[in-house]
Structure 1
């Protein structure tokens, strides 16, 4: 009897941990670098970044500068995503746009940050707000689920 409880707990943990797996195609799209090549392209992409955040965030856009787009939130255990978009100018004249999204729920985020990141990058590159290929409706746990490294 003493052995059964730890085995059941381990089995439950494994079962729960696989429910939030991210589709590899979505992860690849979400982590692909987002680097504009010149001032004209960077200005266009930065405007698209702001447009995407304004159209997809349930939180109010709090800050918009030449290097930061940030929403309020998250808060109160909500599953909604808060966004922080950054732009870093590189020494060669290009700029890298970074994407971070997170929620405040132990139940996971809706939409999941990986799918949001992939959709964001697709829109910034193309101007087309379309579903990301390979995206599913899985909810990714809030902890460790945020694609926040500069891309």
Structure 2
């Protein structure tokens, strides 16, 4: 009886490990699709939505909110909460790309999953998520803060050490 129970426990543990770290293909596709706005007006609305999303989803305070960077504090040592870095980069054709990066410092992974957070962020910014402001609505905008001194050159590791930049 004990031997049978041990086999069941080992199989359950192995099954749990085999799915850990896997990301739903639909979530991965949304999270990795570039977020590129077409006009200055659209880019401005999307940038406001980006800041609204970060303010509503981050457990950390926004430390920097400029025309090209939204960055939160964190991550704090050992915490699973995500810290965010959102960038707005102009493209030569007049469009702009909004980049998303999320990382935590938890040895047991991040909460929420960085890929799911990226997919949720992109859907919200595009206005395709439930509760996202529509194109005519102005999202609330938190007051800008000064740029964090460590904003440039920061490595963004994800759960398990891999980079989570989308």
**Do the two structures share a fold, i.e. TM-score over 0.5?**
yes
In 2: Cα distance, 1:54 partner to 1:36 partner: 21
**Alpha-carbon shift at residue 129 of structure 1 (Å):** 4.3
Equivalence for 1:143: 161
Please report the TM-score for the alignment, with normalisation by the length of structure 1. 0.78
Residue aligned with 2:46, SS: helix
Q: How many equivalent residue pairs?
A: 128
Residue aligned with 1:111, SS: coil
**Conserved? CA contact 1:105–1:142, under 8 Å:** no
Equivalence for 2:82: 81
In 2: Cα distance, 1:117 partner to 1:142 partner: 17
Residue aligned with 1:74, SS: coil
- Describe the shift of the 1:77–1:13 C-alpha distance in structure 2 as closer, same or farther (beyond 3 A): farther
Equivalence for 1:62: 63
For residues 91-110 of structure 1, what are the structure 2 equivalents within 5 Å? 91-110=92-111
Structure 1: gaps (5+ residues): 1-11, 131-139
In 2: Cα distance, 1:14 partner to 1:144 partner: 22
For residues 1-150 of structure 1, what are the structure 2 equivalents within 5 Å? 16=17, 18-126=19-127, 128-129=129-130, 141-144=159-162, 146=164, 148-149=165-166
